[in-house]
Amino acid sequence: MAIVKMAALVALCSLFSASASKPNIILIVADDLGYNDVGFHNPNYTHTHTPNLNALAAKGMVLTNHHVQPFCSPTRACLMTGRHVLRYGLQNTVIWPQDPWAIPANETMLAQNLKDVGYYTAYYGKWHLGFYKKEFLPMNRGYDEQYGYYLGGEDYFTHERNGGLDWHRNDTLCTNENGTYSADLLGAATVDYVMRMGATPDRPFFLYLPFQSVHSPLEALPEDLVLYPNLKGNVQTRSAMVTAMDRNVGKMLDALDKTNQMSNTIIVFTADNGAPYGDAYDTFDDPERSSTLGFDKDNKPPPADEGPNGRCGNGGGSNYPLIGWKHYVFEGGVRSAAFVYGIPGVAPGSFHHGLFHAVDWLPTLVGLAGGDTTKNLPLDGKDISQALKDGSGSPHTELPVQITACDVGLQSIVDGPQTAMIVGDMKVILGCYWRNSKNTSDAQLYNITADPSESNDLAASMPDQLNAVIARLAYWESVSVDPYAAHAKDTACGNGKPQGTPPHWDTWC
């Protein structure tokens, strides 16, 4: 009997020891944050105050060549599934509030993988991955807790969009948060979560924290606006919004310190895309509005303002020194401000210039947590932990940046050229390369390692390299599925709209 009891005790102790050895994981996503909207990239050229993010990046590794998709939903889908959006048809647009569609149920999400190996999981912030049926709500996709909103672009104070309230706790409508700025709501919830997790150190936690900041509408608190007396207009407002997010990241870091969890916590930070030039027009559910915003459909994106506010678009954000904006396939739209902190063996204060993508975080974080991805569909992401630790090159040799279905008469909110492909250092940009509309006569070719601002088009002088990249683009186009609007909408459910009292967004099918 004593031997049996001792064996049970040893097994129990081993379980607790294994749990305690797993790192806590926090994945922070900033919405519409420009490459130059933070202090850790170009401190001599940015005007935003991000002391907490700067300090965290300085203790971790800044990822200078980290790629995402050109706008909201697709990047979030890549992060959660580890698979490119061309696998399930989210390449053309975002998931609109009324759409009867969501990331397919056969896609295993990051939270589900981590929950399988003992993690307590929470998501606080923006979902934007579909919600028309209950099976697609966050708490049915691997999360033990949920707090935030399902759509994108809500009012920061009323939390309403298109006539409906959109703020939920544990997938249930939350009506008592009206009047409180969303960054502060998410910051307070995060502090509470970290403190609770600190009281149960035997169980590791995963927190997915996609802030609303700094997506339009541009709304800021007076206490943050006063920090920028020399700025004006949208640049001042947006800078204050960045600071509000940074301030709440600081509160989270304080809570981690107070609970002695900082040394056992991995933190990944990335933007979902670059800063928009003007309004982030996906807010308005009107893709035709793009034609009124002054974009040049046939050439390069509009340049940054070099006036008093400097290097910013009309929406107040800056992607300097990159060209392009949100909705564009140029680097300013798809290269994100990003860093990682807390991975054992990663040199503090270092930089990595390797080619990484949002799809890489699922296999990387699951691997660091001691899990596996055998139940997932085949991943496009790579485990980049070894590259981060030893500074070796990226495991990626190529990246299908964006392949828009641009010949089928379907909605696309990609602006300018619709296609981009990276192979090694070389990046091809094309107007359209899809099915029966594969025009390569307008191809642009850039060495984005030597020329990240895409100023020297090499297409005419390097035809062999151009053709080599187009050949890989042809492969990726051939394995791309049609956009969800063409084949996967649940038309029997109809379109969604605000419902109930008060009018709010929720499942409808």
Name the residue type at position 448.
Answer: I
Cis check: omega of the bond before 217, within 30 degrees of 0: yes
- Taking alpha carbons only, the member of 334, 315, 327 closest to residue 287 is 327
Q: Which residue has the tokens 């390369």?
A: 433
| Sequence-separated (6 or more) residues with CB below 8 Å from residue 119 | 22, 25, 111, 203, 204, 205, 206, 369
Per the CB < 8 A criterion, the answer to whether 133 and 509 are in contact is yes
Of 47, 49, 67, 128, the catalytic one is 128
First to last CA, the chain: 56
Note if 72 is an active site residue: yes
Buried b (16+ CB within 10 A) or exposed e, 69-82: bbbbbbbbbbbbbb
- Taking alpha carbons only, the member of 445, 343, 477, 237 closest to residue 25 is 343
Per the CB < 8 A criterion, the answer to whether 138 and 80 are in contact is no
- Taking alpha carbons only, the member of 214, 215, 207, 179 closest to residue 191 is 207
Secondary structure in 3-state letters for 147-188: EEECCCCCCCCCCEECCEECCEECCEECCCCCCCCHHHHHHH
Which tokens belong to 440? 């390569």
Count other Cβ atoms within 10 Å, centred on residue 264: 16
CA distances from 465 to 85, 353, 370, 446 (A): 26, 21, 40, 10
* Residue spans of beta strands (DSSP E) within 231-347: 265-271, 338-341
The span from the CA of 361 to the CA of 382, in Å, is: 8
- Taking alpha carbons only, the member of 39, 28, 21, 8 closest to residue 341 is 28
CA distances from 172 to 169, 186, 275 (A): 5, 16, 32
CA 101 to chain centroid: 20
Name the residue type at position 475.
Answer: Y
The span from the CA of 101 to the CA of 263, in Å, is: 40
- How many helices and strands, by DSSP H and E, does the chain display? 12, 20
Note if 128 is an active site residue: yes
Of 41, 66, 67, 72, the catalytic one is 72
Cis check: omega of the bond before 502, within 30 degrees of 0: yes
CA 277 to chain centroid: 18
Q: Catalytic amino acids?
A: 72, 128
